[in-house]
């Protein structure tokens, strides 16, 4: 009800009979203040329920402790979920580290860069979190060139060869997709499967090729690489997954499908179930997905889960270090190991 304005440094100072600066010191470098005085000031702060105005502080120090994040475009797909969970974790971790997350939108990379500049110029945002990095991404270059702190969720997928040799690698965190599909494939091998096909995206996407590599490695380790079967879809999607699965299952000996995403896996699952009714004689076919989206849980699909919480924690750590001017305090790159969530689609035949 009461409209009275909040207390300021000056109010607290008067109340504790010290100067503004002493109050400021109590908050920012308590060690320079005599214990007696400090105590008195802290009491005054508590009594008045004083809280520093971060806007004024920001104007003076040119530090906002705010991170910008382009709202990940709604992919309409099922896997978009991962980014939403990441956003949640990021907000959480940032808050814990004394940072805030501010959102914005942009239609493409160029617009996003314009928005970086705008946000820096007008609101003094301290850093950015990038998602969905891709080959030849202009955003990372711009940010690096302008000395803006940032971290990307996703590796730079450029050819190592094309870049200048200076290895100006920026800070990033990513999921080790290769380890994920490797784990899924090993799990299937352990269960006795010998002919395991991979349903993937078109060649050329960094993420997709990485996941493909993990499956291949596991087969090679088991001495089964000669028999590797791959079927690529045109695009991510449930219908595409079903089509690819049908193509793969033409071969009678194929008993398991490792899928590059939950969407594809969902389609594969439908194809597999149809096959089970039309050809009851055939051995049951196991399926694994990738991302562990809510749908995977719903249809009891084994899937590779991305620990987005860990990714977010690491991203915040990296950004905080850059903002505080100690960019090399921590390793600037982190590859996080996903884990397999085993569900019904890979359990022993019923």
Which stretches of the chain bind a second copy, using CB under 8 A?
A: 1, 6, 51-56, 58-59, 64, 66, 71, 73-74, 76-78, 80-81, 84-85, 87-88, 91-92, 95, 100-105, 118, 121-124, 145, 237-238, 263, 266-267, 277, 294-295, 297-299
- Return the number of the residue (46 or 55) whose C-beta is nearest a second copy: 55
- Cα separation, 213 vs 215, whole angstroms: 5
- Cα separation, 248 vs 231, whole angstroms: 7
Name every residue whose Cβ is closer than 8 Å to that of residue 167 and which is 6 or more positions away in sequence. none
- Return the number of the residue (56 or 103) whose C-beta is nearest DNA: 56
- What is the sign of the dihedral through the CA atoms of 247, 182, 330 and 67? positive
CB-hemisphere CA count at 13 Å for 283? Answer: 17
Binding flag, residue 81, DNA (CB under 7 A):
no
- Return the number of the residue (24 or 246) whose C-beta is nearest DNA: 24
Least Å from the CB of residue 156 to a second copy: 21
Binding flag, residue 18, DNA (CB under 7 A):
yes
- Return the number of the residue (18 or 311) whose C-beta is nearest DNA: 18
- Give the torsion through C-alpha atoms of 334, 335, 339, 340, to 10 deg: 160
Range 238-257, binding DNA (CB under 7 A): none
Least Å from the CB of residue 115 to DNA: 18
- Return the number of the residue (20 or 100) whose C-beta is nearest a second copy: 100
Binding flag, residue 25, DNA (CB under 7 A):
yes
Name every residue whose Cβ is closer than 8 Å to that of residue 328 and which is 6 or more positions away in sequence. 321
CB 211 within 8 A of CB 260: yes
Binding flag, residue 49, DNA (CB under 7 A):
no
Least Å from the CB of residue 20 to DNA: 5
Range 261-320, binding DNA (CB under 7 A): none
- Cα separation, 322 vs 94, whole angstroms: 14
- Return the number of the residue (18 or 94) whose C-beta is nearest DNA: 18
- Return the number of the residue (31 or 49) whose C-beta is nearest a second copy: 49
The token duo for 306 is 């991305």
CB-hemisphere CA count at 13 Å for 242? Answer: 9
CA angle 202, 207, 208 (to 5 degrees): 30
Looking at the DSSP bridge assignments, the partners of residue 66 are 100
**Residue 337 has what DSSP assignment?**
P
Binding flag, residue 329, DNA (CB under 7 A):
no
Which residue is associated with the tokens 């100067």? 19
End-to-end distance of the chain based on CA atoms, in angstroms? Answer: 66
Range 29-48, binding DNA (CB under 7 A): 32-34, 36-37
- Cα separation, 314 vs 9, whole angstroms: 35
Choose among DNA, a second copy, none what residue 10 binds, the Cβ cut-off being 5 to 8 Å by kind: DNA
Least Å from the CB of residue 59 to DNA: 4
Choose among DNA, a second copy, none what residue 18 binds, the Cβ cut-off being 5 to 8 Å by kind: DNA
C-alpha distances out from residue 344 to 149, 181, 183, 271, 297, Å? 44, 18, 17, 16, 10
Only segment of 4-12, 81-89, 104-112, 332-340 that touches DNA (CB under 7 A)? 4-12
Binding flag, residue 5, DNA (CB under 7 A):
yes
- Return the number of the residue (1 or 348) whose C-beta is nearest a second copy: 1
Please give the residue ranges that form the binding site for DNA (CB under 7 A).
Answer: 5-6, 8-10, 17-22, 24-25, 27-28, 32-34, 36-37, 50, 52-53, 56-57, 59-61
């Amino acid at each position: 009800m009461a409209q009275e304005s909040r207390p300021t440094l000056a109010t607290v100072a008067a109340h504790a009979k010290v100067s503004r600066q002493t109050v400021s010191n109590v908050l920012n470098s308590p060690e320079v203040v005599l214990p007696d005085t400090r105590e008195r000031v802290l009491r005054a702060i508590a009594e008045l329920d004083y809280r520093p105005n971060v806007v004024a502080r920001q104007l003076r120090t040119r530090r906002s402790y705010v991170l910008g994040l382009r709202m990940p475009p709604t992919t309409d797909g099922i896997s978009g979920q991962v980014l939403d969970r990441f956003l949640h974790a990021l907000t959480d971790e940032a808050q814990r580290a004394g940072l805030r997350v501010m959102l914005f939108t942009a239609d493409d990379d160029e617009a996003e860069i314009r928005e970086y500049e705008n946000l820096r110029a007008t609101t003094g945002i301290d850093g950015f979190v990038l998602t969905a990095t891709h080959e030849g991404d202009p955003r990372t270059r711009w940010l690096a060139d302008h000395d803006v702190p940032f971290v990307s969720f996703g590796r730079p997928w450029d050819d190592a060869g094309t870049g200048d040799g200076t290895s100006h690698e920026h800070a990033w965190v990513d999921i080790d997709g290769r380890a994920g599909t490797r784990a899924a494939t090993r799990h299937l091998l352990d269960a006795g499967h010998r002919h395991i096909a991979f349903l993937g995206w078109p060649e050329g996407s960094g993420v997709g090729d990485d996941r493909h590599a993990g499956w291949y490695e596991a087969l090679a380790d088991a001495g089964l690489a000669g028999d590797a079967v791959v079927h690529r879809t045109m695009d991510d999607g449930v219908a595409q997954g079903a089509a690819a699965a049908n193509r793969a299952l033409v071969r009678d000996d194929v008993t398991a499908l490792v899928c590059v995403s939950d969407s594809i896996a969902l389609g594969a699952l439908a194809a597999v179930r149809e096959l089970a009714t039309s050809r009851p004689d055939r051995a049951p076919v196991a399926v694994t997905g990738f991302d562990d989206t809510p749908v995977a849980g719903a249809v009891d699909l084994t899937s590779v889960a991305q620990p987005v919480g860990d990714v977010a924690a690491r991203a915040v750590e990296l950004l905080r270090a850059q903002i505080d001017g100690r960019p090399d305090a921590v390793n600037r790159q982190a590859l996080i190991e996903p884990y397999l969530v085993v569900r019904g689609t890979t359990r022993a035949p019923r």
